[in-house]
Amino acid sequence: MTPELKQKLALIDKLRDEIDSFRPLKPQAQKELREYYRIDLAYSSNALEGNSLTESETKIVIEEGLTIGGKLLRDHYEAVGHSEAYDLLFELSKKENISERDILELHRLFFYRIDEENAGKYRTVNVIITGARHIPPTPARVKPLMRDFVDGLVALKKKTHPVEFAALIHLELVTIHPFQDGNGRTARLLMNLALLQAGYVITIIPPVLRNGYLEAIRRAQGPGRSQAAFVSFIAGTVHESLKDYLRLLGALNGERRGH
């Protein structure tokens, strides 16, 4: 771990401790924050994959059940499916560890309206990733790789900082690319599950950072598999998300807070 990353993680933990000072939150505050991030995470994660819904349109689709004229039906399904997977995220966050079944169910809930046959199931075809040199493993290797991945989570969790752990499991899932579609969104849900289980908050990767995000993944999957840049990138988004969470807590408490 580089000195820069150590410093960043120390700042992150300081912010988390500050958030902990507000806990336990009042039920209304919990509800407000949970619903805020339901929309923010669905919009940002879907937008990273090319979904055309704006943040306000995503809110309308999820909260009011309305369709947006001129937008693809799939884009609506992605918004609603992500919202359902988000609810499961909070249920699973009460657990200590992550199981293979948890990952499959997160994918199923997000994807079943789009492709019921493949939702929550490992792919049976070869795939390529647009704009990437990384070639995902063949279908025959997916299940054993995923089982090895899940079997190693407890050991990995013990030897890494929670933010590093969340980043690495995100990276490993997109590298294995176990599903025919929806791998990126499942990886970001999985990353947030790990963060919630460790007492952190929902982390958003803004669409404006898409190029840097994809480049960090490419560097981690390329020759030598340098994971440091990706972990550092995710640490940066966790840091910004914690600052935003504190801003929202301040607003709910009638305060002005700045970092």
Question: Residues 76, 107, 161, 177: which is the catalytic one?
Answer: 177
Neighbours of 73 (CB within 10 A): 10
Query: How would DSSP label each residue in 145-179?
Result: HHHHHHHTHHHHHHHS-HHHHHHHHHHHHHHH--S
Reported as type and span, the H/E element at residue 251 is helix 228-252
Cβ distance 242 to 201 under 8 Å? yes
Angle of helix 183-197 relative to helix 162-176, nearest 10 degrees, comes to 160
* Distance from C-alpha of 154 to C-alpha of 215, rounded to nearest angstrom: 28
177 is catalytic: yes
Neighbours of 223 (CB within 10 A): 7
Residue at token pair 């401790």: 17
* Distance from C-alpha of 246 to C-alpha of 257, rounded to nearest angstrom: 7
Beta strands in the chain (DSSP E): none
* Distance from C-alpha of 190 to C-alpha of 176, rounded to nearest angstrom: 14
Provide φ and ψ at 94, rounded to 5°. Answer: -75, -15
Q: Write out the catalytic residue numbers.
A: 177
